[in-house]
Amino acid sequence: MNFNAVLIEKGDAGQSVAVRSLGTEALMDGDVLIRVTHSTINYKDGLALTGRSPVVRRFPMIPGIDLAGFVEQSGHPAWRANDAVILNGYGLGETHFGGHAGHARVKGDWLVALPKSLTPARAMAVGTAGYTAMLAVLALEKHGLTPAQGPVVVTGAAGGVGSVAIALLAGLGWHVIASTGRVEERPYLESLGAAEVIERKELSEKGRPLGKERWIAGIDGVGSHTLANLLSMTRYGGAVAACGLAQGMDLPASVAPFILRGISLLGIDSVMAPMARRVEAWSRLARDLDFAKLDAMTTTIGLDQVIGMGDAILAGKVRGRTVVKIA
């Protein structure tokens, strides 16, 4: 059975990427064969497609860190033919062939059943970015934070994680402050539910160890000075959920906010999150996310357009979410 796939290869001249025709016999080991109908473009996919960061750890590799589709064959007791499933993380698109392909063979233990209220297309409009945003919201809630305690700030607001986070938080009653380097996106961010929009430069430069208290909570996908400034401006007892490193992996911060204001830094991992947390996140997304807002932030492309999206998403030119419809 043949299908098309984006394939990253590496030779003496460096990395190359092209759409290839493959047979299912070329797929990697697993006990479930999936007919992939949709995937997405995430920031990590951009890194893989361009080779700017060593995301891909074996070659050749089919990129795509998430997928949705239907089971075709199963040797796993939990899954039967035609079951609708979602998969993200577990090294997909990094060490295991990913979702930018017509088929995928994976471990059944990695799969999550598609919630009844989601189509595969909408599930991938959420994608790893939206799932990560939900994990961050859950972490803030489990920390005991509520909208009544004050505002929440979201960095990288016009990107995938930021867009879904704003829609989720606004729907849950939070006063959302959106931080972006694209101030021309203010109408878009306000349409998602942002109550305030601030310029990225307010947070991206070196700041003071302890700043004016501005928010009780934060979701940060940027890292570096931006995360340090978020922490320095978090109110007493608040918390920031960190889930990205668009500005950098460093954290030039002080212990002052932690020991003088009792704040917390919550790390968010989407790749190896336990299954119970995954199911909870997807269940909440199906319940809490405004699908009209999700649709408004989503663009759909074909498999043949994937390669060109790598540079665009890393350059911050992609707004919201991009779904890949697999022909």
CATH number at 47 reads 3.90.180.10
Q: 11 and 95: one domain? A: yes
- The pLDDT score that the predictor gives to residue 1 is 86
Do residues 8 and 99 both lie within one domain? yes
Query: In this predicted model, what pLDDT tens digit does every residue of 188-199 receive, in sequence order?
Result: 999 999 999 999
Does a structural domain hold residue 283? no
Domain-embedded: residue 292: no
Please give the model's pTM, rounded to 2 decimal places: 0.94
Q: What is the per-residue pLDDT for 16?
A: 96
pLDDT of residue 75: 98
Task: Please name which of 204, 142, 129 lies closest in space to residue 168, comparing C-alpha atoms.
Answer: 129
| Separation of alpha carbons 310 and 304, rounded Å | 12
Task: Yes or no: say if 115 and 283 are a contact pair by the CB < 8 Å rule.
Answer: yes
pLDDT in tens, 93-128: 999 999 999 999 999 999 999 999 999 999 999 999
Q: Are 213 and 309 found together in one domain?
A: no
DSSP label at residue 320: S
- Contact between residue 83 and residue 68 where contact means Cβ atoms under 8 Å apart: no
pLDDT score for 122: 98
Mean pLDDT of 316-325: 94
pLDDT for the residue 316: 87
User: Is the sign of the CA dihedral 262, 284, 157, 149 positive or negative?
Assistant: negative
Q: What is the mean pLDDT of residues 203-209?
A: 95
- Average pLDDT value for the chain: 97
Check whether residue 158 and residue 56 sit in a common domain.
Answer: no
Distances, alpha carbon 195 to alpha carbons 100, 157, 170, in Å:
36, 12, 9
State the CATH number of the domain containing residue 209: 3.40.50.720
Tokens 């930021």 label which residue? 162
Cβ neighbours, 10 Å, residue 44: 22
Domain annotation covers residue 160: yes
Give the alpha-carbon dihedral of 114, 188, 169, 217, to 10 degrees.
130
Answer yes or no: is pLDDT of 301 > 90: yes
Q: Do 140 and 95 fall into the same domain?
A: no
Preceding amide of 77 cis, omega within 30: no
In a domain, 278, yes or no: no
Written as six digits, the tokens of 322 are: 């991009």
218-264: pLDDT as tens digits = 999 999 999 999 999 999 999 999 999 999 999 999 999 999 999 99
Kindly state whether residues 132 and 263 are assigned to the same domain: yes
**Does residue 70 sit in the same domain as residue 184?**
no
Rounded CA-CA distance 84/272 in Å is 21
Between CA 44 and CA 130, with CA 225 as vertex, the angle to 5 degrees is: 35
Same domain membership, residue 137 and residue 77 = no
| Same domain membership, residue 105 and residue 163 | no
Percent above pLDDT 70 for the chain: 100
Instruction: Give per-residue pLDDT as tens, 24-62.
Output: 999 999 999 999 999 999 999 999 999 998 899 999 999
- Give the range of the structural domain holding residue 54, as residue numbers without chain letter: 2-114+297-325
Give the chain's domain count: 2
Whether residue 259 sits in one domain with residue 164: yes
Q: Are residues 226 and 314 in the same domain?
A: no
Q: Which helix (H) or strand (E) segment is 123 a member of?
A: helix 120-142
Nearest to 235, CA basis, from 259, 211, 214: 214
Domain end call among 267, 285, 306: 267
Does residue 132 share a domain with residue 110? Answer: no
Please give the average per-residue pLDDT across 131-160, as a whole number: 97
**pLDDT of res. 13:** 86
